[in-house]
C-alpha cells in the first residue's frame, strides 16, 4: 500500500496555526517470529510540520496490530467473531450473556480492541459447530432460543443452589457438526 494522505480540518493542537493531514502508511511489525505489513496512521501539521498521533490514530493502529496478533495466535478475528454472532442471531449484549466476558466484551472483540481468551475462542467455535451447544448456552443465560435447532429436552438438576443442565450424548450425536467457514 502506498502512503495515503488525507487533509482534515482539525487544527494543530501544537502550534494552533496549521491543520492536520492524515497519513496512512505501511508499517512492518513482528509478532512471535512472524512479520507482517499493517497500516499505521499519524497526522502531520501543515504549518509546524510536527508529526503527531492522537487518540484516534492510536486506537486504529492498536486495532490493526491486535487483528494481526489474533491471526498469529490462531484466534478468530474481530470480523469472524461478528459474523459468527450474527449467524447465531445474537445482539452483542446477548452474546456476552451467553458466552461471558462482560457487557462490552463483544464490541471489543469485534473491533479488535481486545484479544479474546483461548477459552472464549474455543467456546465460540463450539457454538458455531454444535447447534445443541447454542441451545444449551441460551438456556444457561436464561435467553429464549432465537431459533429452534432441534428437539432438546434439558435435564435440570439442582446443585449447590445452582441450576445446571445436562445434555445427553444422545442429543449431541443427533447433530452433525456444521463446518464453519472462515470469513474474509
Residue 143: phi, psi to the nearest 5? -95, 145
CB-based contacts of 98, cutoff 8 Å, min separation 6: 90, 127, 137, 138, 140, 141, 143
The answer to the question of residue 47 lying near Zn ion (CB under 5 A) is: yes
Contact 116, 163 (CB under 8 A): no
Q: Which is nearer to Zn ion, 18 or 100 (CB)?
A: 18
The answer to the question of residue 48 lying near Zn ion (CB under 5 A) is: yes
In the chain, which ranges are continuous DSSP H helix?
55-73, 78-87, 92-99, 105-110, 118-129, 131-141, 169-174
Scan residues 76-135 and list those touching Zn ion (CB under 5 A): none
Query: Please, what is the minimum distance in Å from the beta carbon of residue 15 to Zn ion?
Result: 3
Contact 34, 2 (CB under 8 A): no
Binding segment (CB under 5 A) for Zn ion, from list 6-14, 67-75, 106-114, 165-173: 6-14
Q: Which is nearer to Zn ion, 23 or 63 (CB)?
A: 23
The answer to the question of residue 45 lying near Zn ion (CB under 5 A) is: yes
The answer to the question of residue 12 lying near Zn ion (CB under 5 A) is: yes
Beta-bridge mates of residue 37: 28
The answer to the question of residue 11 lying near Zn ion (CB under 5 A) is: no
Q: Which is nearer to Zn ion, 51 or 169 (CB)?
A: 51
CA-based torsion, 121, 126, 129, 131: positive or negative: negative
Number of residues that bind Zn ion (CB under 5 A): 7
Query: Please, what is the minimum distance in Å from the beta carbon of residue 81 to Zn ion?
Result: 39
Closest CA to 115 of 82, 59, 75: 75
Query: Please, what is the minimum distance in Å from the beta carbon of residue 44 to Zn ion?
Result: 9
Binding site for Zn ion (CB under 5 A): 12, 14-15, 18, 45, 47-48
Amino acid at each position: 500500500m502506498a502512503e495515503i494522505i488525507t487533509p482534515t480540518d482539525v487544527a494543530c493542537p501544537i502550534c494552533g496555526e496549521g491543520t492536520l493531514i492524515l497519513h496512512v502508511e505501511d508499517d512492518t511489525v513482528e509478532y512471535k517470529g512472524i512479520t507482517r505489513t499493517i497500516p499505521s496512521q499519524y497526522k502531520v501539521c501543515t504549518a509546524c510540520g510536527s508529526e503527531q498521533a492522537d487518540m484516534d490514530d492510536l486506537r486504529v493502529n492498536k486495532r490493526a496490530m491486535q487483528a494481526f496478533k489474533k491471526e498469529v495466535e490462531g484466534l478468530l478475528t474481530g470480523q469472524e467473531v461478528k459474523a459468527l454472532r450474527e449467524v447465531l442471531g445474537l445482539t452483542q449484549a446477548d452474546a456476552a450473556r451467553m458466552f461471558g466476558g462482560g457487557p462490552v466484551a463483544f464490541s471489543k472483540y469485534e473491533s479488535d480492541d481486545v484479544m479474546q481468551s483461548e477459552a472464549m475462542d474455543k467456546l465460540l467455535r463450539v457454538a458455531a459447530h454444535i447447534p445443541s451447544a447454542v441451545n444449551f448456552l441460551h438456556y444457561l443465560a436464561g435467553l429464549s432460543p432465537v431459533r429452534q435447532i432441534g428437539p432438546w429436552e434439558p435435564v435440570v438438576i439442582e446443585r449447590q443452589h445452582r441450576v445446571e443442565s445436562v445434555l445427553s450424548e444422545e442429543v449431541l450425536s443427533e447433530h452433525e457438526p456444521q463446518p464453519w467457514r472462515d470469513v474474509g
